[in-house]
């Protein structure tokens, strides 16, 4: 054990609440606290600002449950956080019998960011989602409840988020627990809970649940092997798996599409959607191929920047190369827990183009509801307030009902479906849950059946594969299809950016931007006058705030301009601010599809970049065009460092005769390592270097790109 005096002195430098938490953890007064020696080293050798954050407050319960970095302390994902969440969930349910469904993805903590490099081997290193899930299973069983999970005796087994959502009501369970950080970096993990219909709780229920979790001091646990022997930990029934697949086979049959003979590539981006989206394509008879190194790899080693997110264009670059080897012109993808979908297609000139979440939502909604060659379904469309206005336009033209004003978070979509199922109504929309055509959000999320009350990447994957095949038969692409539908419904586009603010001060800086927007709303954004402001904290307009969690979900401000709508909101689980620019209406220009979409995207990108810069001014920060072109997973401080350190170093290197791509990449790896901790920064700087190369001062860079 460390010297008691030195440890006391180290703890004494922190605020009182941090000191209290540190002492509780070292004393073992929290469930499953690590050994005192490890904690002492963390406190003595760790970075003080980071420790003030990880020991300062509980890991927040946001739009996707609890999610964040794997760390020691109540502010990190660890055994203690998992134990308190699971025990608190069971206490909230108040049940002494019944079952819980348990899911986990493939991620494994490797400390790529080097937070604990000074420790060497330690208890959190190598801790996987499955490890956390086994702990959760022991706690559930310790409370006398039955656990259903995938292949209980397999330490590498997984279950996707949508499978969990389906399994809970299909089995008749009390609820579900999911261990996953979805598309987050590999050093993150998370836990979220599901209610009996397979949905996540919304305010104020989630607030009551959080309070129960915070008070969960007495954690009951049964050894995994003992629980197995007593029949308290069981395999999810094969009938549940079969029913999950069968519902989508029926939906595909009703679509009128078929498994055309063109090859398709699918990648789970290191996750576990091989068991859902990929398996479904195989069952439907598609000629589908999957990169073997991108399946169930919890370090995401084969994914550029270790960023397993369909929203990030570069994530599927290796899968595109794999597709070319197999003669495929489409790459479909899901994030690690299988609830989001991505799509890239290869055009006639050999170049690849990627569809963002709003474009995919528009394509699939149009196909299902308005396409003369599609099923032309009648019923209900659902979207959030930051999703493309194209959905509402399609509803109008197709004679369908639409809910289009929901807060961000798929749990709000699930609540609408539940409300319609229970009462036949949500607001002015009436009908049955069976009338659902599609529910979608801008972040590549869909559900198409009321039996899955969370996002599911499998049904959009199968429809996109089928539509791609149909179009290929006539020499067309999904891009041709998209431009044609825009000519029908009008020009719609959406821009989205994230301002990532890492470090202990990240949340405070994020919140200061929101405060500035409320206290002094801008009169101009993106070169357009602001004509209206909506603050979702305004109780006179949007009703009373029901709980702290409701207040967090309603931390949204939107601005109307003559040309577009801007929506700004903080992430519910990370020190990150998200902004959206929504353009709707207007004519679509003539020209080739790539030119049409390129021009539309250029207009949106210009407006989005301008809004981004406006938000940075509230922090007294500015960045160059090149730094702004770095991918959104690069945090703001790293962007500033790119301007102050990397660009001058590059300029000096060019002046000294830098003349090869290999030397350029070596310099970027040396000077730009902070851009993407634990991953090669070279793929991240491509767009930034292209911006610099347009400047005559960096003309020598052009031949190297």
CA distance 482 to 243: 33
pLDDT of residue 295: 97
- Where residue 507 falls among pLDDT bands split at 50, 70, 90? confident
Phi-psi region of 32 (alpha: psi -120 to 50; beta: other; left: phi over 0): left
Q: Name the maximum alpha-carbon separation found in the chain.
A: 78
pLDDT of residue 80: 95
Q: Are 449 and 463 in contact (CB under 8 A)?
A: no
CA distance 240 to 234: 13
- Is the same domain home to 515 and 400? no
User: pLDDT tens digits, residue range 622-658?
Assistant: 999 999 999 998 999 999 999 999 999 999 999 999 9
What CATH number is given to the structural domain containing 550? 3.30.310.50
Look at residue 366 and tell me whether its pLDDT is greater than 60.
yes
In a domain, 283, yes or no: yes
- Is the same domain home to 478 and 523? no
pLDDT of residue 64: 62
Here the tokens at position 325 are 């080897």
User: pLDDT tens digits, residue range 334-357?
Assistant: 999 999 999 999 999 999 999 999
Q: Are 135 and 223 in contact (CB under 8 A)?
A: no
- Is the same domain home to 424 and 281? yes
Q: Are 143 and 136 in contact (CB under 8 A)?
A: no
CA distance 370 to 367: 6
What CATH number is given to the structural domain containing 395? 3.40.120.10
Spell out the alpha helix ranges (H) of 284-353: 317-325
Number of domains in the chain: 4
Long-range contacts (CB closer than 8 Å, 24 or more residues apart) made by 292-295: 294/267, 294/268, 294/269, 294/270, 294/318, 294/319, 295/268, 295/270, 295/271
- Is the same domain home to 121 and 248? no
In a domain, 5, yes or no: no
pLDDT of residue 1: 57
- Where residue 503 falls among pLDDT bands split at 50, 70, 90? confident
**Quick one: CA dihedral 349, 288, 337, 252, positive or negative?**
positive
pLDDT of residue 350: 96
Alpha-carbon torsion angle 477, 482, 484, 487, nearest 10? -160
Q: Are 269 and 303 in contact (CB under 8 A)?
A: yes
Q: Are 492 and 486 in contact (CB under 8 A)?
A: yes
Q: Which of 236, 269, 296 is the last residue of a domain?
A: 236
Average pLDDT score, the chain: 94
- Where residue 585 falls among pLDDT bands split at 50, 70, 90? confident
Q: Are 393 and 582 in contact (CB under 8 A)?
A: no
In a domain, 17, yes or no: no
- The residues that bridge with 183 in the sheet, in sequence order, are none
Q: How many CB atoms sit inside 10 A of residue 198's CB?
A: 26
User: pLDDT tens digits, residue range 441-490?
Assistant: 999 999 999 999 999 999 999 999 999 999 999 999 999 999 999 999 99
Phi and psi at 605, nearest 5°, equal -65, -40
Q: Are 291 and 319 in contact (CB under 8 A)?
A: yes
User: pLDDT tens digits, residue range 208-231?
Assistant: 888 888 777 789 999 999 999 999
- Is the same domain home to 295 and 314? yes
Range of the domain at 103: 58-236
In a domain, 574, yes or no: yes
- Is the same domain home to 91 and 118? yes
Helix pair 129-142, 79-93: axis angle to 10 deg:
40
- Is the same domain home to 381 and 449? yes
Residue 696: which residues within 8 A CB-CB, separation 6 or more? Answer: none
Q: Are 204 and 551 in contact (CB under 8 A)?
A: no
In a domain, 344, yes or no: yes
CA distance 309 to 270: 10
DSSP 641-664: HIIIIIHHHHHHHHHTT---HHHH
Residue 177's H or E segment, with its range, is strand 175-179
- Is the same domain home to 361 and 274? yes
C-alpha triplet 221, 59, 178: angle, nearest 5°:
55
- Is the same domain home to 257 and 231? no
346-350, 374-378, 581-585: least confidently modelled range: 581-585
Q: Are 502 and 379 in contact (CB under 8 A)?
A: no
Query: For the purposes of burial, counting CB atoms within 10 Å of the CB of 387, is it exposed (0-12), middle (13-18) or buried (19 or more)?
Result: buried
- Is the same domain home to 664 and 563? no
16-20, 309-313, 445-449: least confidently modelled range: 309-313
> What separation, in Å, do the N-terminal and C-terminal C-alpha atoms of the chain show?
54
In a domain, 557, yes or no: yes
State the pTM of this model.
0.93
CA distance 591 to 179: 47
Look at residue 592 and tell me whether its pLDDT is greater than 80.
yes
Here the tokens at position 612 are 């981004």
Work out the percent of the chain whose per-residue pLDDT is above 90: 89
User: pLDDT tens digits, residue range 649-686?
Assistant: 999 999 999 989 999 999 999 999 999 888 899 999 99
In a domain, 449, yes or no: yes
Q: Which of 423, 454, 489 is the last residue of a domain?
A: 489
User: pLDDT tens digits, residue range 158-195?
Assistant: 999 999 999 999 999 999 999 999 888 899 999 999 99
CA distance 597 to 613: 24
Q: What pairing do the DSSP bridges indicate for beta strands 330-334 and 565-570?
A: unpaired
In a domain, 7, yes or no: no
- Is the same domain home to 324 and 441? yes
- Is the same domain home to 338 and 322? yes
Q: Which of 489, 508, 536 is the last residue of a domain?
A: 489
């Amino acid at each position: 054990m460390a010297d008691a005096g030195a440890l006391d002195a180290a703890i004494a430098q922190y605020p009182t609440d941090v000191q209290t938490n540190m002492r509780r953890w070292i004393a073992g007064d929290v469930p499953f606290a690590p050994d005192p020696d490890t904690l002492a080293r963390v406190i003595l050798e760790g970075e003080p600002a980071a420790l003030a954050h990880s020991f300062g407050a509980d890991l927040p319960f946001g739009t996707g449950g609890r999610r964040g970095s794997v760390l020691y302390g109540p502010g990190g994902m660890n055994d203690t956080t998992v134990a308190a969440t699971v025990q608190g969930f069971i206490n909230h349910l108040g049940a002494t019998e019944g079952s819980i469904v348990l899911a986990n993805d493939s991620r494994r903590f490797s400390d790529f960011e080097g937070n604990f490099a000074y420790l060497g081997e330690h208890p959190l290193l190598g801790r996987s989602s499955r490890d956390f899930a086994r702990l959760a299973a022991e706690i559930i069983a310790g409370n006398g409840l039955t656990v259903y999970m995938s292949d209980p005796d397999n330490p590498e087994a997984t279950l996707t988020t949508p499978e969990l959502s389906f399994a809970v009501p299909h089995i008749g369970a009390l609820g579900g627990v999911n261990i996953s950080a979805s598309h987050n970096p590999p050093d993150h993990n998370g836990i979220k809970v599901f209610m009996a219909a397979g949905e996540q709780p919304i305010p104020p229920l989630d607030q009551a649940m959080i309070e129960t979790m915070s008070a969960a001091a007495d954690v009951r646990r049964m050894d995994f092997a003992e629980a197995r022997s007593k029949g308290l930990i069981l395999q999810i029934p094969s009938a549940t798996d079969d029913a999950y697949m069968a519902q989508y086979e029926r939906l595909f049959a009703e679509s009128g599409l078929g498994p055309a003979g063109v090859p398709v590539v699918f990648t789970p981006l290191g996750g576990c959607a091989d068991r859902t989206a990929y398996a479904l394509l195989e069952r439907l008879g598609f000629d589908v191929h999957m990169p073997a190194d991108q399946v169930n790899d919890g370090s995401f080693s084969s994914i550029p920047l270790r960023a397993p997110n369909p929203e990030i264009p570069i994530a599927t670059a290796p899968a595109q190369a794999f597709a070319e080897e197999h003669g495929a012109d489409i790459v479909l993808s899901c994030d690690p827990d299988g609830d989001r979908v991505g799509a890239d297609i290869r055009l006639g000139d050999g170049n690849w183009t990627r569809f963002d979440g709003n474009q995919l939502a528009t394509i699939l909604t149009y196909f299902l509801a308005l396409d003369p060659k599609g099923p032309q379904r009648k019923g209900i469309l659902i979207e959030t307030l930051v999703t493309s206005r194209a959905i509402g336009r399609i509803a109008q033209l197709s004679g369908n009902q639409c809910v289009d004003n929901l807060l961000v978070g798929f749990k709000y979509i699930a609540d609408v479906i539940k409300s319609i199922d229970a009462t036949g109504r949500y607001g002015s929309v009436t009908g049955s849950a069976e009338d659902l055509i599609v529910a979608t959000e801008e972040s590549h999320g869909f559900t198409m059946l009321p039996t899955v009350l969370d996002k599911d990447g499998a049904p959009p994957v199968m429809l996109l594969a089928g539509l791609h095949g149909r179009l290929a038969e006539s020499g067309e692409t999904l891009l041709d299809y998209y431009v044609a539908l825009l000519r029908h419904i009008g020009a719609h586009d959406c821009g989205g950016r994230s301002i990532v603010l890492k470090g202990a001060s990240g949340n405070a800086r994020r919140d200061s931007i929101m405060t500035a927007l409320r206290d002094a709303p801008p009169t101009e954004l993106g070169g357009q006058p602001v004509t209206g402001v909506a603050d979702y904290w305004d109780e006179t307009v949007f009703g009373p705030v029901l709980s702290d969690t409701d207040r967090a979900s309603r931390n949204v401000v939107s601005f109307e301009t003559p040309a577009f709508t801007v929506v700004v909101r903080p992430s519910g689980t990370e020190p990150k601010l998200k902004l959206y620019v929504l353009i709707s209406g207007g004519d679509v220009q003539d020209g080739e599809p790539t030119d049409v979409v390129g021009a539309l995207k250029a207009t949106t990108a210009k407006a989005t970049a301008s809004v981004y810069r406006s938000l940075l001014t509230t922090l007294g920060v500015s960045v160059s065009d090149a730094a702004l072109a770095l991918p959104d997973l690069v945090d703001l401080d790293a962007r500033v460092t790119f301007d102050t350190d990397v660009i001058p170093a590059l300029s000096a290197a060019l002046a000294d005769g830098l003349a090869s791509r290999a030397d350029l990449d070596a310099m970027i790896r040396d000077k730009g390592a902070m851009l993407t901790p634990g991953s090669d920064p070279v793929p991240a700087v491509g767009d930034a270097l292209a911006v610099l190369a347009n400047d005559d001062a960096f003309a020598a860079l052009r031949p190297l790109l």
